[in-house]
């Protein structure tokens, strides 16, 4: 099976702009989660989508949003970009069968966002 794919791999934006990142999960996986990785804050959970519904959310401002499509692909959007949004954004997918408590999350290569 193909792994989790994320596009684009690299992005450069300026403050105030908005950006959309895309994630395609492993075939058959129904849950998609997003994480932000920065040198200062480490890996932080943004949100999780399952069956097109957000079922878990981290502690990020409303500028960060996401959605999931019927084919389980997911996008996340960041509006009004700030310098501090520069980070590696990681997407992870999991099967999420029977509640998914024992699931393993498989990560994509990430999108490196630089805000100038």
Partner 1 sequence: AQSVAQPEDQVNVAEGNPLTVKCTYSVSGNPYLFWYVQYPNRGLQFLLKYITGDNLVKGSYGFEAEFNKSQTSFHLKKPSALVSDSALYFCAVRRGSGGYNKLIFGAGTRLAVHP
Binding region for partner 1 (CB under 8 A): 4, 31, 33, 35, 42-45, 48, 50, 55-56, 58, 90, 92, 94, 96, 99-110
Taking alpha carbons only, the member of 96, 87, 95 closest to residue 60 is 87
Shortest Cβ distance from residue 86 to partner 1 (Å)? 15
Question: 24 or 94: whose CB is closer to partner 1?
Answer: 94
Shortest Cβ distance from residue 16 to partner 1 (Å)? 28
Q: 41 with 59: CB under 8 angstroms?
A: no
- Bridge partner residues of 74 (DSSP): 23, 68
Question: 30 or 78: whose CB is closer to partner 1?
Answer: 30
Give CA–CA dist 75/32, Å, rounded.
Answer: 10
Query: In terms of DSSP bridges, do strands 87-94 and 111-115 run parallel, antiparallel, or are they unpaired?
Result: antiparallel
Question: 75 or 103: whose CB is closer to partner 1?
Answer: 103
């Amino acid at each position: 099976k193909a792994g989790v794919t994320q596009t684009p791999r690299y992005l450069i934006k300026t403050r105030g702009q908005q950006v959309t990142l895309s994630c395609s999960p492993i075939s058959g996986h129904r849950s998609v989660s997003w994480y932000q990785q920065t040198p200062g804050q480490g890996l932080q959970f943004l949100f999780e989508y399952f069956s097109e519904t957000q079922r878990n959310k981290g502690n990020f401002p409303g500028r960060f949003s996401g959605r999931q499509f019927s084919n389980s692909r997911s996008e996340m959007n960041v509006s009004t970009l700030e310098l501090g949004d520069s980070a590696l954004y990681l997407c992870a997918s999991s099967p999420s069968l029977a509640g998914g408590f024992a699931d393993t999350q498989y990560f994509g290569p990430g999108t490196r966002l630089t805000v100038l």
